[in-house]
């Protein structure tokens, strides 16, 4: 949660390959967070690989990301 307090950061907590892919593809997450006590090292490495190789899809997903960034901008000016 702390990472998302930093302007420009879109951090996503992921717990499997599916959520790692969707975090990048649908939200454009630029920070991947993993629970060290709940995800084994082999799965974590696979997740990082999938996350790094997945591009942001843009399109209809861009609107969602833009809304997140608008809220960030609005409240970071204070």
pLDDT at position 77 is 66
Hey, where are the domains in the chain?
A: 3-76
Question: Which residue in the block uniquely carries the two structure tokens 């420009």?
Answer: 8
Q: Which CATH superfamily is domain 3-76 in?
A: Sugar-phosphate isomerase, RpiB/LacA/LacB (3.40.1400.10)
pLDDT at 78: 58
Q: What is the predicted pLDDT for the residue at 17?
A: 98
pLDDT in tens, the chain (78 residues): 788 888 889 999 999 999 999 999 999 999 999 998 999 999 999 999 999 999 999 999 999 888 888 888 888 765
pLDDT of amino acid 76: 77
């Amino acid at each position: 949660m702390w990472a998302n307090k930093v302007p420009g950061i879109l951090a996503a907590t992921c717990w499997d390959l599916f959520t790692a892919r969707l975090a990048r593809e649908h939200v454009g997450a630029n920070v991947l967070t993993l629970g060290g006590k709940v995800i084994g090292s082999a799965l974590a490495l696979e997740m990082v690989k999938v996350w790094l190789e997945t591009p942001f899809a843009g399109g209809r997903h861009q609107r969602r990301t833009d809304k997140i960034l608008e809220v960030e901008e609005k409240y970071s000016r204070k």
